[in-house]
Amino acid sequence: MKSLIPVVMSGIIAVYGLVVAVLISGKIKPGDYSLFAGFIHLAAGLACGFTGMAAGYAIGIVGDACVRAYVYESKVFVTMILILIFAEVLGLYGLIVALILDTQTTPMGC
């Protein structure tokens, strides 16, 4: 059962991309969509996508190695969780950057 943790953590990365996609698609209005907003949304999607891909790659490598090592030594579990958390934070940083970028498309008034 403990070997499913990397699979669950990689699924959380997909939820980050889904959140960004829903936020971006909610702001698209036909006829009222500027080029600036399009490029900002592209940058937000790329930021979340590339960091999600890097986090998923890291989670995959660490998860594979640690699950194999857990068969022989059960002390590896805590180390695996810590490394997986650090890998997950990469995707979270991308979500934060995407959310910051997404807020820049709304006009700011005084």
pTM of the model: 0.85
Taking only the tens place, the pLDDT of each residue in 95-104 is 999 999 999 8
d(CA 25, CA 81): 34
Taking only the tens place, the pLDDT of each residue in 47-89 is 999 999 999 999 999 989 988 898 898 888 888 899 999 999 9
Residue 110 has pLDDT above 60, yes or no: no
Return all residues near 28 (Cβ < 8 A) that are at least 6 apart. Answer: 41
The pLDDT value given to residue 32: 83
CB 13 within 8 A of CB 52: yes
Q: How confident is the model at residue 107 (pLDDT cuts 50, 70, 90)?
A: low
> If 0-12 CB within 10 Å is exposed, 13-18 middle and 19+ buried, where does residue 22 land?
exposed
Q: How far apart are the first and last CA of the chain?
A: 54
The pLDDT value given to residue 6: 84
Taking only the tens place, the pLDDT of each residue in 8-56 is 888 899 999 999 999 999 888 888 888 888 899 999 999 999 999 999 9
> In Å, how far from its chain's centre is CA 95?
6
CB 61 within 8 A of CB 80: no
The pLDDT value given to residue 86: 92
Q: Angle at the Cα of 66 (from 61 to 67), degrees rounded to 5? A: 105
